[in-house]
Amino acid sequence: MKNDRNSVSNGTVVKSNSGMNGHHGYGHPMIQRQPSRQCSTEMYDLSCKVMLIGDSGVGKTCLLVRFKDGTFLSGSFISTVGIDFRNKVVEVDGAKVKLQIWDTAGQERFRSITRAYYRDANALLLLYDVTNKNSFDNIRAWLAEINEYAQEDVVIMLLGNKCDVAGERQLRREDGERLAKEYGVAFMETSAKTGMNVELAFMAVARDLKMKKTRKPNEPQFNVADYVDQEKSTSQCCSS
Ligand SMILES: Nc1nc2c(ncn2[C@@H]2O[C@H](COP(=O)(O)OP(=O)(O)OP(=O)(O)O)[C@@H](O)[C@H]2O)c(=O)[nH]1
Ligand SMILES: [Mg+2]
């Protein structure tokens, strides 16, 4: 079992000259954060890099905060600058899996920075906002980026976020399901506000990694898309 004692438990990496502030106190964007004094002592068996990607405003940072801290960032929207990460160790069938979760800036001007991180990612959570058709229409372009820059065996999960918003919904759940099927990726609707399916999205990624690492040659492959279809909740998500 590995020990995280000597590594940075969280950090900010930014290569831009933007003068904007970082997101919700997640570190000043202009400063490469120094190794944290409060190092994690958490032990783990496996570690996995997960990236949150998608248009600006779809809820990537909120999804990470919900998963990491169990809270929702309401109020005024502060767009992420550059790229930032947080670690969380979760347990899958008795094994401790460290998820290193990279929160990227959705704004176009940061695209070249975030691209540089794709090739190290084991899993990509690709978000759109169910109340914003444009963010959904851009998913094909995001998938093309993934195809170009990410590892071939990267796990991709399409997430329709903000499914708690009923009135302003512009996309039906079926729209997301259809697109995911076309590209052969896992899909579910999520809400960083209510927490719906948030834990599942990250746990499915952790499980996939663990299964890949521990699978014996004669055992069937773990299918993450089937797994989330069985486990996901659809009750609060109305398809208008
Ligand atoms: N109702 C609702 N609002 C959400 C949800 N997730 C995020 N929001 C709101 O959407 C806005 C944008 O959220 P962020 O998480 O900052 O968006 P982002 O994808 O990180 O944006 P960039 O950092 O610019 O790429 C904020 O005002 C959030 O409060 C959700 O699940 N439901
Ligand atoms: Mg953000």
For tokens 């809400």, the residue is: 191
Q: What is the per-residue pLDDT for 152?
A: 94
Task: Retrieve residue 121's tokens.
Answer: 């990612």
Number of the ligand closest to the Cα of 62: 1
Q: What is the per-residue pLDDT for 34?
A: 36
Cα of first residue to Cα of last residue in the chain, in angstroms, is 48
Ordered by start, the domain boundaries in the chain are 6-232
Q: What is the per-residue pLDDT for 186?
A: 96
Give the strand order in the sheet containing 123-129. Answer: 10-13, 83-92, 95-104, 46-54, 123-129, 155-161, 186-189
Q: Ligand 1, closest atom to CA 165?
A: 1
CA distance 54 to 61: 11
Q: What is the per-residue pLDDT for 235?
A: 64
For tokens 């290193």, the residue is: 100
Q: What is the per-residue pLDDT for 10?
A: 45
Task: Retrieve residue 182's tokens.
Answer: 């076309």
Task: Retrieve residue 94's tokens.
Answer: 């008795």
Number of the ligand closest to the Cα of 127: 1
Output the CA 23–ligand 1 centroid distance in Å: 11
Task: Retrieve residue 108's tokens.
Answer: 């176009």
Tell me how crowded residue 55 is: count the other CB atoms within 10 A of its CB. Answer: 21
21, 68, 77, 142: residue to mutate for ligand 1 pocket, most atoms within 8 A of CB: 77
Q: Tell me the sheet residues that pair with 123.
A: 50, 155
Give, using CA atoms, the residue closest to atom 29 of ligand 1. Answer: 74
Give, using CA atoms, the residue closest to atom 7 of ligand 1. Answer: 59
The DSSP letter of residue 175 is: H
The DSSP letter of residue 153 is: T
pTM of the complete model: 0.85
Tell me how crowded residue 30 is: count the other CB atoms within 10 A of its CB. Answer: 16
Number of the ligand closest to the Cα of 26: 2
Q: What is the per-residue pLDDT for 218?
A: 85
- What's the CATH number for 6-232? 3.40.50.300
- Ligand 1: residues whose CB is within 6 Å? 23, 56-62, 73-74, 77, 79-80, 105-107, 161-162, 164-165, 191-193
Output the CA 77–ligand 2 centroid distance in Å: 9
For tokens 């997640």, the residue is: 26
Task: Give pLDDT < 70 ranges for the chain.
Answer: 1-41, 235-240
